[in-house]
Amino acid sequence: MNPAPLSRLLSAADEPRQALLRHPVYERLSDLNALHVFMGAHVFAVWDFMSLLKTLQRQLTCVEVPWAPPADIECARMINEIVLGEETDEVRPGVYQSHFDLYREAMREVGADDGAVLRFVESLRSGQSLERALEHAPVAARAFVSHTLATTRLRPHQVAAAFLLGRESLLPAVFERILTAVKPLGTGCASLRLYLERHIQLDGEEHGVRAEQLLCRLCGEDPERWREAREAALSALRARGELWDGVLGSLDATAPWRGRVNVG
């Protein structure tokens, strides 16, 4: 660990992080129609979370044949542990599921349409370009996904910084806000609550700590790497803010907030 540079990085990220936690979009999510719009955009962030994570796994472990030992076994162990929990989590006793599939289950449970993200994924599988595939995505999600995939082309310490500050250390607090907002919807969003609670637990108690350790190992004592990490982290936070702004704009453009709808 290298606590002083990490502490400075966390301090630099605190103001944009707090701005995200104060964002007015959460106040709209106790309305079912608004929740549908939010989830229809947010599911793309759930998908590209795995693209960031898989980039780190590809950079820090060996996923090629013939196999070669990872250069840093500690980094390889940390990232593989995070992948295990995100890609094949035991969400219920004996039930294994990726968090992306769990989120899609939650969408269907509350009546949100997951067709756009499925068409997006199938377009990528069929070999279409990202730009063409993103035509299936809500406008609010397109720039966010493009930013994330641009981040995957950076160096490992930059990707790790975006992953830590833009995801693992941010999402537990963000998901607490969302969890509070959807409580009035009752039992009809049990899978969404499971998704949120699972991320709060894993990211807050396990994955966030590992992501900090990973970033410290990758940056070491190199001030230039820490500077680049700071830029990548702040850029990730700005992209999240723009995503939330876009979702809020979509809500304002489609229909006024009509209050809470109980689906339980």
Q: What is the pLDDT of residues 120-149, one digit of tens each?
A: 999 999 999 999 999 999 999 999 999 999
For the chain, which residues make up each domain, given as ranges? Answer: 3-252
* CB within 8 Å of 202: residues ≥ 6 apart: 85, 86, 89
Give the three-state DSSP class for 129.
coil
Residue 107 near residue 43 (C-beta atoms within 8 A): yes
Instruction: Supply the pTM of this predicted model.
Output: 0.93
Q: Which residues of the chain have pLDDT under 50?
A: 257-264
Residue count of the chain: 264
* CB within 8 Å of 151: residues ≥ 6 apart: 52, 158, 159, 162, 232, 235, 236
Residues 48, 8: Cα–Cα separation, whole Å: 27
User: Domain 3-252 adopts which CATH fold?
Assistant: Heme Oxygenase; Chain A (1.20.910)
C-alpha distances out from residue 26 to 111, 135, 182, 254, 255, Å: 19, 26, 9, 17, 16
Residues 179, 104: Cα–Cα separation, whole Å: 17
